[in-house]
Amino acid sequence: MSEKQHTHMGCQPEPGSVTAVHGIWKVQLLLIAATVFMICSGCASASLKLPLDFNAVVRRQPASIALGSIQDSVSCDDEAFYLQRYLEKKDVFYDCVLADQDNPHAYHGADILLSGRIEPRVGWSQGLGWGHFATFITMGGYYFLVGPTRKQEARIDYNFDVYFTDTGKTNSFHFYDLRKAYFGFYGPRINMDRKPELYEAGWDQLLYEICREMQNRRAGKQ
Amino acid sequence: MKAFCCTKILMGVMLFSAAGCSTPPQAHRDAMFIRQQYPRIRAQAVGDLAVLGQFSKNGRIGSIVDTGRNVYDTKYYDLAGEARSIIPLAYYDMARVALKTGRYTDAIRGAQNAIRAGSDFYGGDEWTLLRLLGLLGNHKLLYESYLFCGDLEQASMHHKQYLLLSELMQAKAFKKVMENSFCIQMTSIRLRSEYEVKRAEATMAQIMAILAAAGAAAGGAQNNNNNNNNNRAAQIARNAQIAQMAVLTVAMLEEYKQAIKVQHNIDLSELMQRAADLNRLSAPAAEDIRRAKMASSLYLQASIRDPASALDQADLSDLKKQASKSRNLVKITTDENGRIHVSGDLAKLVELAEKIDEVPMRLPPPPAKRPDDYLDKYLTPGLYRMAGIRMTYEEKAFFDRLAASGGQEFVIDPAQAEAQVALNGLNKMIQKSKAFESWITAL
């Protein structure tokens, strides 16, 4: 018995628009101000945001969790160890064990068994038309003042199966994390291919989904 | 005089650090293991997994491997060996720490990964020794972990592999392989150290020249030119020396492989094939299970204990009575807010858990001849599972305190600081009493 749940949380960052102002100096000043603003506010966007009721739902759960096979683009088992460390730091479940890969249901007696696949795709950087235009208008000032002229996208797809031991049912969770980084002279502000930090937004989302599901199940039992 | 002493000390420190005298992280973790600093070992080993990004597929590694703490120049045999050991040893260290702390499934996962990583990174003939040592340690870990999970079939299979590997490594021919491997490693370390010392000396000479130049200010221009000329000549000589050493190391490796083939008539590829075949052994026979049980620590303890302290028939029947009542000792429910309500005779559950802990330590002594019946009767999967579930000091202290206060009913709020300790301890006591019940009813 499998229930499918799809969560798509993607958003497009708004690069902002430049209002036409008479006089080249005013445009220059405006662009410099916009550059400074973008530098201060961070030039990267993350699409997976914590839900507003995250803390209310994700509290310490009276359950233990076992991690089965967690695969990603590299053929090794490091993701499971990283996820275990992350869950232990979050202090949500009272115990988090790694299951035997040959026999994931055996030995541990955990309430939840998690397995899944993470597919990261980091795209090539692309030039930004308005960034080049701003560089041209300001005679290179925009570029050398660290104004963004290129963008890079990273999309990470998460597919997790969560098996609940008490009911014997499996829930599948699918969601994706779309990130864009805007950068110029000094390169991207965020390291877009660094593991395991890259996956933590997805793990937060997964944690939220599992805890919400457990809350619903408990409420249904009463 | 003071300045001279300071310079000498500084020089000594620089030479010491540049000569490669820093110990590898694996040695640090061994030291921490002896001091029982298990969380630190685990944190460091998980951190080492991030190095995976520097390894391309099929175990090929780059010329320089940077772990953040150490930098490995893989043109040297000893450093290449250390770099290749980062991932297998990280998994192995996590597995042995997990075994020590009673987290058997974590230990199984770690050892399985260490074996897989070993087959990737120790694929070449020259790493045969490291691979076999890794297999030996990991099969031993798997044997003990499966044993305390109560899976005697898996445990005996890994015990069999461990015995076969030990036998292989005790062979005279293999000892020659080890000897040659160590010889190459030591030579590589010596060559590297000599080079590092010379480089440090040259660097120090440069620093001294700069200091002298700064001190002499305007008048030192001529000297500086001379020093620069000397440094350039020294650098050319050093480069030639490095190239010579690289050629020498490669030649020694080839010689090592040839010598083993010719003198000892061992084909390393065949040896590795034999080691790999051990993973495809047939299912364990009754004899293998018997051997695995007899190699366990519980059997050893029962053999050497004073028979006077062993459980007698009266003790066993008393325990049987208690076990039959253990199922209804406490009742556990979870409310919609996630709080756990525990009601019942907690003091009796704690008392029973303490008695269960004593049972594997007080088994009757095995007979000197034909111990089969004894093994079948006492050393069952239930007994190993029961012995494997051990409460931590904090968990034990928490429940002792709770039982002493006479609490018949209590609520565990998962948001409280002690909730994890309480839930883990409660879970262990219940699992332990279940394993105990299955063991003692079969007696």
pLDDT tens digits for B158-195? 998 898 888 887 776 677 777 777 777 777 777 777 77
Which of A121-125, B100-104, B300-304 has maximum average pLDDT?
A: B100-104
Partners of residue B106 in chain A, C-beta under 8 Å: 84, 97-98
Residue of A74, A94, A193, A216 to mutate when probing chain B, most B C-beta within 10 A: A94
Q: Is the pLDDT of residue A160 over 80?
A: yes
Q: What is the pLDDT of residues B410-442, one digit of tens each?
A: 888 887 878 888 888 988 988 888 888 888 888
Torsion sign, CA atoms B191, B197, B201, B206: positive
* Beta bridge mates, A5: A173
Domain boundaries, chain A: 2-221
- Put simply, whether A201 touches B (Cβ < 8 Å) is no
pLDDT at B390: 87
Nearest neighbour of B420 by CB, restricted to A81, A94, A101: A94
Q: In whole angstroms, give the CA distance from residue B96 to residue B138.
A: 9
Please name the residues in contact with A92: beta carbons below 8 A apart, sequence gap of 6 or more: A58, A59, A60, A61, A207, A211
pLDDT band at B64 (very low <50, low <70, confident <90, very high): confident
Please name the residues in contact with B91: beta carbons below 8 A apart, sequence gap of 6 or more: B45, B110, B111, B113, B114, B117
- Put simply, whether A77 touches B (Cβ < 8 Å) is yes
Q: Is the pLDDT of residue B115 over 70?
A: yes
Q: Calculate mean pLDDT across residues B64-87.
A: 83
Least confidently predicted of A13-27, A103-117, B423-437: A13-27
Q: Minimal CA–CA distance to A213: which of A111, A95, A102?
A: A111
Q: Is the pLDDT of residue A8 over 80?
A: no
pLDDT at B302: 87
What proportion of chain B, given as a percentage, has pLDDT over 90? Answer: 19
Q: Is the pLDDT of residue B109 over 90?
A: yes
Task: Looking at the complex, report in whole angstroms how far the Cα of residue B422 sits from the nearest Cα belonging to chain A.
Answer: 9
Q: Do B105 and A108 touch (CB under 8 A)?
A: yes
pLDDT at B111: 95
Least confidently predicted of A81-95, B128-142, B276-290, B362-376: B276-290
Q: Is the pLDDT of residue B14 over 70?
A: no
pLDDT at A104: 93
Q: Do B334 and A218 touch (CB under 8 A)?
A: yes
- Contact of B67 with B48, CB cutoff 8 Å: yes
pLDDT band at A152 (very low <50, low <70, confident <90, very high): confident
Q: Is the pLDDT of residue B36 over 80?
A: yes
Partners of residue A84 in chain B, C-beta under 8 Å: 106
Partners of residue B419 in chain A, C-beta under 8 Å: 60, 62, 94
Task: Looking at the complex, report in whole angstroms how far the Cα of residue A92 sits from the nearest Cα belonging to chain B.
Answer: 8
pLDDT at B12: 47
Q: Is the pLDDT of residue A84 over 70?
A: yes
pLDDT at B15: 42
Q: Do B104 and A66 touch (CB under 8 A)?
A: no
Q: Is the pLDDT of residue B140 over 70?
A: yes
Q: Do B415 and A60 touch (CB under 8 A)?
A: yes
Q: Do B336 and A76 touch (CB under 8 A)?
A: no
Partners of residue B87 in chain A, C-beta under 8 Å: 76
Cis peptide before B365 (omega within 30 of 0): no
Residue spans of alpha helices (H) in B122-220? 128-149, 152-170, 172-216
Find how far residue B254's CA is from the centre of its chain.
Answer: 31
pLDDT at B333: 83
pLDDT at A6: 45
**pTM for the model:** 0.78
Which of B67-81, B147-161, B205-219, B315-329 has maximum average pLDDT?
A: B147-161
pLDDT band at B259 (very low <50, low <70, confident <90, very high): low
Give the number of A-B residue pairs with CB atoms closer than 8 Å: 95
Partners of residue A221 in chain B, C-beta under 8 Å: 336
Q: Calculate mean pLDDT across residues B249-276.
A: 59
Q: Is the pLDDT of residue A68 over 90?
A: yes
Higher pLDDT, B237 or B397: B397
Please name the residues in contact with B130: beta carbons below 8 A apart, sequence gap of 6 or more: B81, B84, B85, B118, B122
Q: What is the CB-side half-sphere exposure of residue B180 using CA atoms within 13 A?
A: 25
Q: Do A62 and B339 touch (CB under 8 A)?
A: yes
Q: Calculate mean pLDDT across residues A11-20.
A: 36
Partners of residue A222 in chain B, C-beta under 8 Å: 335-336
Q: Determine how many CB atoms are found less than 10 A away from the CB of residue A145.
A: 16
| Torsion on CA atoms B416, B420, B422, B425, rounded to nearest 10 | 180
pLDDT at B246: 54
Q: Do A97 and B414 touch (CB under 8 A)?
A: no
Q: In whole angstroms, give the CA distance from residue B143 to residue B296.
A: 9
Nearest neighbour of A100 by CB, restricted to B108, B412, B431: B108
Q: Minimal CA–CA distance to B276: which of B120, B395, B98, B65?
A: B120
pLDDT at B1: 47
pLDDT at A49: 80
- Put simply, whether A29 touches B (Cβ < 8 Å) is no
Higher pLDDT, A124 or B142: B142
Nearest neighbour of B336 by CB, restricted to A60, A98, A219: A219
